[in-house]
Chain A
Amino acid sequence: MVRQTSRIGLILRRFAVAFAMLIAFFPIFWLISTSFKPYDEWAQWPPVWVTERPTLQNYRIVFAPDAAREFAATQAGSLDYKVSGSAWKAFGDSTIISVSATILSVAFGTLAAWAMVRFGTGGENYPFQFLTVRMFPPIAVVVPMVVLFSVLRMSDTYLGLIIAYTAFTLPFSIWMIRSFIEEVPSELEGAAMIGGMTRLQAFRSVTLPLVKGGLLATALFIFILNWSEFLFALTLTAGDVVTVTVQVANYVSASSGKLYGVQAAMGTVSTLPVIFFGYVIQRHLVRGLTFGAIKR
Chain B
Amino acid sequence: MTARLELIDIHKRFEDTAAVNGISLALAPGEFFSLLGPSGCGKSTTLAMVAGFLEPDGGEIRVEGRSILHLPPQARRIGLVFQDYAVFSKLTVAENLAFGLEVRRVRRAERRRLVHELAQRLALTSILGRRGGSLNMSEMQRVALARVLITNPELLLLDEPMSNLDAEVRASLRGELKRIQQDLRQTVLYVTHDQVEAMSMSDRIAVMREGAILQVASPDEIFRAPAHRFVAEFIGDPPINMLPATVEGDGSSRIARLPANWILPLGPGELAEGAYLLGIRPHELMLSAASGTGTAAGIVRFLENLGAEHVLHVELGDMLIRVSARPGSARIGEGVNLRTQSWQGLLFDARTGNRVPVRALGAAA
Stretch at the interface among A89-97, A186-194, A222-230: A186-194
The contact string, 1 if C-beta is below 8 Å from chain B, for chain A 167-196, is 000000000000000000101101111111
A193 touches B73 (CB 8 A): yes
Binds A, one of B55-63, B75-83, B114-122, B230-238: B75-83
Residue B107 is within 8 A (CB to CB) of chain A in the complex: no
What string of 1s and 0s marks CB contacts (under 8 Å) between B78-95 and chain A? 111011111111100000
Q: Does B51 contact A (CB under 8 A)?
A: yes
CB pair B74–A196 under 8 Å, yes or no, is yes
| Given A196-B100, A196-B103, A295-B133, A187:B74 Cβ within 8 A | no
Q: Which residue of B lies closest to A198 (CB)?
A: B74
Please state if B151 and A195 are interface contacts (CB–CB under 8 Å).
yes
Given A195-B100, A196-B103, A196-B151, A185-B73 contact (CB < 8 Å): no
Residues of A within 8 A of B133 (CB): 295
Question: Which A residues are in CB contact (< 8 Å) with B343?
Answer: none
- Assembled-state Cα–Cα distance A199/B144 (Å): 19
- Closest B residue to A206 by CB, please name it: B88
Is B99 within 8 A of A187, CB to CB? no
Task: Say yes or no for A56: interface residue by CB 8 A criterion.
Answer: no
> Which chain B positions have C-beta within 8 A of A206?
88
Closest residue of chain B to A209 (Cβ to Cβ) is B90
Interface size on A, residues (CB 8 A): 19
**Residues B88 and A188 in contact, CB atoms below 8 Å apart:** yes
| Residue A153 is within 8 A (CB to CB) of chain B in the complex | no
B72, B82, B86, B89 pick with most chain A CB within 10 angstroms: B86
Asked, given contacts A185-B84, A187-B83, A295-B133, whether A194 binds B148 with beta carbons under 8 Å apart, the answer is: yes
**Once bound together, how far apart are the Cα atoms of A187 and B88, in whole Å?**
10
B254 — which chain A residues lie within 8 A by C-beta? none
Residue in B closest to A296 when the chains form the complex, CB atoms: B84
Q: With the chains together, A201 CA to B102 CA distance in Å?
A: 13
| B86 and A188 contact, CB distance less than 8 A | yes
* Contact assessment for B84 and A194 in the assembled complex, using a CB-CB cutoff below 8 Å: no
Q: Is the CB of A198 within 8 A of B151?
A: no
* Chain B neighbourhood of A48, CB < 8 A: none
User: Does A50 have its Cβ within 8 Å of any Cβ on chain B?
Assistant: no
A85→B100 CA distance, assembly (Å): 60
Whether B147 lies near A191 (C-beta < 8 A) is yes
State which residues 231-284 of A face B: CB under 8 Å. Answer: none
| Chain A residue nearest to B144 in the complex (CB) | A191
Main secondary structure of the interface of A (DSSP, over half): helix
Question: In the assembled complex, how far is the CB of residue A185 from the closest CB belonging to chain B, in whole angstroms?
Answer: 6
User: Given A195-B103, A198-B74, are A190 and B151 also a contact pair (CB < 8 Å)?
Assistant: no
Residue from B51, B72, B87, B104 within 8 A of A198 (CB atoms): B72
Select which of B82, B87, B90 is within 8 A of A190 by beta carbon. B82
Bound CA span A59–B166, Å: 67
CB pair B51–A194 under 8 Å, yes or no, is yes
- What 0/1 readout, one digit per residue, does chain B (92-114) give for beta carbons within 8 Å of chain A? 00000001100110000000000
- Please determine whether B89 and A187 come into contact, CB atoms closer than 8 angstroms: no
Which of B74, B90, B99 gathers the greatest number of chain A CB atoms within 10 Å? Answer: B74
B86 touches A185 (CB 8 A): yes
Given A295-B89, A295-B133: A193 and B74 interface contact (C-beta under 8 Å): yes
Known: A196-B100, A197-B103, A295-B133. A191 touches B88 (CB 8 A): yes
For A194, the chain B residues whose CB sits under 8 A away are: 51, 73-74, 78-80, 100, 148
* CB proximity of A269 to chain B, nearest CB, Å: 40
CB distance from A182 to the nearest CB of B (A): 15
Indicate if the CB atoms of B89 and A191 lie closer than 8 Å.
Answer: no
- Contact A191 B103, beta carbon cutoff 8 Å: no
* Interface mask (B40-65 → A, CB under 8 Å = 1, otherwise 0): 00000000000101000000000000
Q: Which B residues touch A198, using CB under 8 A?
A: 72, 74
Measured in the bound complex, the distance between the Cα atoms of B151 and A190 in whole Å is 15
- Is the Cβ of A187 less than 8 Å from the Cβ of B103? no
* Closest residue of A by beta carbon distance from B53: A190
Let me know if A190 and B147 touch, CB within 8 A. no
Chain A residue nearest in CB terms to B140: A296
| Nearest-CB residue, chain A, relative to B78 | A194
Question: Which residues of B lie under 8 Å from residue A295 when comparing CB positions?
Answer: 89, 132-133
* Bound CA–CA A194/B100 (angstroms): 8
Q: How distant is A16 from chain B, measured CB to nearest CB, in Å?
A: 41
Distance between Cα atoms of A193 and B53 in the complex (Å) = 10
The docked-state distance in angstroms from the alpha carbon of A190 to that of B51 is 10
Known A195-B103, A196-B103; contact A190-B86, beta-carbon cutoff 8 A: yes
Q: Mark A67-95, 1 if CB is under 8 A from B, else 0.
A: 00000000000000000000000000000
User: How far is A295 from B136 in the complex, measured between Cα atoms in Å?
Assistant: 11
Given the complex, which residues of A lie within 8 Å of B84, measured CB to CB? 185, 187, 296
For the complex, give the distance between the alpha carbons of A147 and B104 in Å.
55
B residues with CB within 8 A of A? 51, 53, 72-74, 78-80, 82-90, 99-100, 103-104, 132-133, 144, 147-148, 151
Q: Can you list 13 A-B pairs with a CB-CB distance of less than 8 A?
A: A187-B86, A188-B86, A190-B53, A193-B74, A194-B80, A197-B74, A197-B103, A198-B74, A199-B72, A206-B88, A295-B132, A296-B84, A296-B89
